[in-house]
């Protein structure tokens, strides 16, 4: 998650020594500042130890006991999935797969389309309940009522047609990924858990491997790295929801819409950066501004940093000095200070 070390390396911040403003409207008055600090203290006091399943992997909610054991990378389990198993592709029916931002980039590239087209053809909008934030889920193919519905990318004879770019959730199966935030710790930690559904015969195979080996073999490490900011946002919003939302307020629909755009459609977010007053408002190194024109992964990281800033007032992106001065003057006028 985005710890202090990560923040100091943040390419979107020129210097770390100046104060940050809380939102696009500029800095807040001392009284308001104290009220926000008090609410953050209350959030920390109210939050419990929290385990949030980011990738839960369960395909059939009626079938699968999740082993309630928190596994770490060095722990082992027995499992193998290959075309010889009697259940080959069974787990690709009736799926409930939330796509992480990097899944969308990879799948769009594979299908040679931009994310907006990918989203409209292959996904359905949904809400990630615990955080009450909008996400995209993978569609299933239409079937007669009562029939099991294959994933939109399943060819029932050949298997997964996007295998090399399959989503993180498919790579993880039968593992789940949970972010665990312990009371008093600001940063969540990752844990893994095993999902044993009766239809999955891979658990009867005798291939033993550690979680770390399985993750490497499945190529999830890059996915986790690229999606880390998004996982952090889900986790932090879940934690804030203990108090009814950030600073005690539910997010308004427009902010949710911005969250969805920034985390699913890099082109939409790129237009937001280059075609609004974004670059006049935030202080971003010219070298990075240039790279943002073509590097989707970098743009995604900017989107996460911007969202951390506007949702949680984190110092992940910096206002330009002239904007900051103007905002301070506005705040002073508002409080009657000189
Ligand atoms: S993306 Fe591929 S692996 Fe994942 S559910 Fe669909 S067909 Fe199966
Ligand atoms: S072994 Fe499990 S993961 Fe592999 S195809 Fe069968 S149900 Fe899917």
Q: In this predicted structure, what is the pLDDT of residue 299?
A: 97
Report percent pLDDT > 70 for the chain. 82
Compute the distance between CA of residue 42 and CA of residue 199 in angstroms, rounded to an integer: 45
More confident: 15 or 44: 44
Measured in Å, residue 308 CA sits from the centre of ligand 1 at 31
Ligand 2 mutation target, pool 170, 174, 195, most atoms within 8 A of CB:
174
The answer to whether the CB of 290 falls within 8 A of the CB of 274 is no
**Whether 183 and 103 share a structural domain:** yes
Last residue of a domain, one of 218, 244, 268: 218
* 315 pLDDT more than 70: yes
Query: pLDDT tens digits, residue range 107-147?
Result: 999 999 999 999 999 999 999 998 999 999 999 999 888 88
**Whether 186 and 266 share a structural domain:** no
DSSP string, 55-70: E---S-TTT-PBP---
User: Is 134 a member of any domain?
Assistant: yes
Report percent pLDDT > 90 for the chain. 57
* Phi, then psi, of 318 in degrees rounded to 5: -115, 140
**Whether 64 and 210 share a structural domain:** yes
Mean pLDDT, range 215-241, rounded to an integer? 92
How many CB atoms are closer than 10 A to CB 222?
A: 12
**Whether 61 and 172 share a structural domain:** yes
Q: In this predicted structure, what is the pLDDT of residue 268?
A: 97
Measured in Å, residue 63 CA sits from the centre of ligand 2 at 14
User: Is 184 a member of any domain?
Assistant: yes
Which among 134, 169, 135 has a CA at the least distance from the CA of 151? 169
The answer to whether the CB of 98 falls within 8 A of the CB of 128 is yes
How many CB atoms are closer than 10 A to CB 232?
A: 23
Mean pLDDT, range 197-211, rounded to an integer? 93
User: Is 203 a member of any domain?
Assistant: yes
Q: Which of 1-15, 44-58, 160-174, 316-330 has the lowest mean pLDDT?
A: 1-15
For the Cβ of 263 lying below 6 angstroms from any atom of ligand 1, the answer is: no
Q: In this predicted structure, what is the pLDDT of residue 298?
A: 97
- Closest atom of ligand 1 to CA, residue 170: 4
Measured in Å, residue 58 CA sits from the centre of ligand 2 at 12
* 318 pLDDT more than 80: yes
- Closest atom of ligand 1 to CA, residue 166: 1
Measured in Å, residue 151 CA sits from the centre of ligand 1 at 6
For the Cβ of 160 lying below 6 angstroms from any atom of ligand 1, the answer is: yes
Q: In this predicted structure, what is the pLDDT of residue 16?
A: 36
Q: In this predicted structure, what is the pLDDT of residue 146?
A: 85
Measured in Å, residue 237 CA sits from the centre of ligand 1 at 28
Compute the distance between CA of residue 163 and CA of residue 155 in angstroms, rounded to an integer: 11
Query: pLDDT tens digits, residue range 31-87?
Result: 777 777 777 777 666 666 677 788 876 676 666 556 667 899 999 999 999 999 999
**Whether 209 and 326 share a structural domain:** no
Q: Compute the mean pLDDT over every residue in the chain, rounded to the nearest whole number.
A: 84
Which tokens sit at 226? Answer: 């690229």
Q: Which residue range forms the structural domain that includes residue 208? A: 50-218
Helix 253-264 to helix 101-110 angle, to the nearest 10 degrees?
50
**Whether 128 and 172 share a structural domain:** yes
Total domains in the fold of the chain: 2
Last residue of a domain, one of 188, 218, 248: 218
The answer to whether the CB of 215 falls within 8 A of the CB of 55 is no
Measured in Å, residue 181 CA sits from the centre of ligand 2 at 31
User: Is 230 a member of any domain?
Assistant: no
User: Is 277 a member of any domain?
Assistant: yes
**Whether 289 and 141 share a structural domain:** no
Last residue of a domain, one of 189, 218, 247: 218
Which residue, judged by its Cα, is nearest atom 8 of ligand 2?
91
Q: In this predicted structure, what is the pLDDT of residue 228?
A: 93
Residue with token string 């990097």: 102
More confident: 232 or 5: 232
DSSP string, 31-43: HHHHHHHHHHHHH
Total H helices, total E strands in the chain? 13, 10
Which residue, judged by its Cα, is nearest atom 2 of ligand 1?
160
* 326 pLDDT more than 80: no
């Amino acid at each position: 998650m985005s710890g202090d070390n990560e923040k100091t390396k943040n390419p979107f911040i020129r210097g770390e020594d100046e104060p940050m403003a809380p939102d696009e409207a500029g800095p807040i008055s001392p009284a308001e500042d104290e009220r926000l600090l008090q609410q953050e203290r209350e959030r920390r006091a109210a939050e419990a130890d929290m385990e949030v399943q980011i990738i839960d992997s369960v395909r059939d909610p009626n079938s699968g006991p999740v082993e309630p054991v928190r596994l770490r990378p060095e722990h082992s389990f027995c499992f193998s999935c290959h075309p010889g198993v009697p259940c080959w592709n069974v787990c690709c029916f009736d799926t409930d797969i939330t796509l992480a931002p990097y899944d969308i980039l990879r799948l769009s590239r594979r299908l040679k389309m931009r994310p907006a087209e990918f989203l409209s053809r292959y996904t359905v909008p949904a809400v990630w309940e615990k955080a009450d934030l909008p996400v995209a889920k993978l569609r299933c193919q239409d079937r007669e009522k009562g029939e099991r519905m294959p994933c939109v990318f399943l060819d029932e004879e050949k298997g997964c047609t996007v295998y090399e770019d399959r989503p993180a959730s498919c790579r993880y199966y039968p593992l789940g990924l949970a972010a665990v935030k312990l009371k008093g710790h600001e940063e969540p930690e990752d844990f893994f858990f095993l999902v044993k559904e009766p239809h999955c015969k891979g658990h009867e195979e005798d291939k033993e491997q550690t979680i770390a080996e399985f993750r490497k073999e499945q190529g999830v490490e890059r996915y986790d790295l690229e999606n880390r900011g998004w996982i952090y946002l889900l986790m932090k919003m879940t934690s804030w929801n203990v108090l009814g939302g950030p600073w005690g307020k539910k997010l308004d629909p427009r902010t949710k819409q911005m969250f969805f755009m920034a985390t699913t459609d890099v082109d939409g977010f790129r237009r937001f950066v280059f075609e609004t007053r974004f670059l006049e408002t935030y202080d971003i190194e010219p070298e990075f501004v240039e790279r943002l024109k073509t590097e989707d992964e970098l743009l995604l990281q900017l989107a996460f940093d911007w969202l951390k800033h506007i949702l949680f007032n984190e110092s992940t992106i910096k206002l330009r000095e002239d904007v900051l001065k103007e905002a301070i003057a506005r705040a002073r006028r508002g409080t009657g200070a000189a």
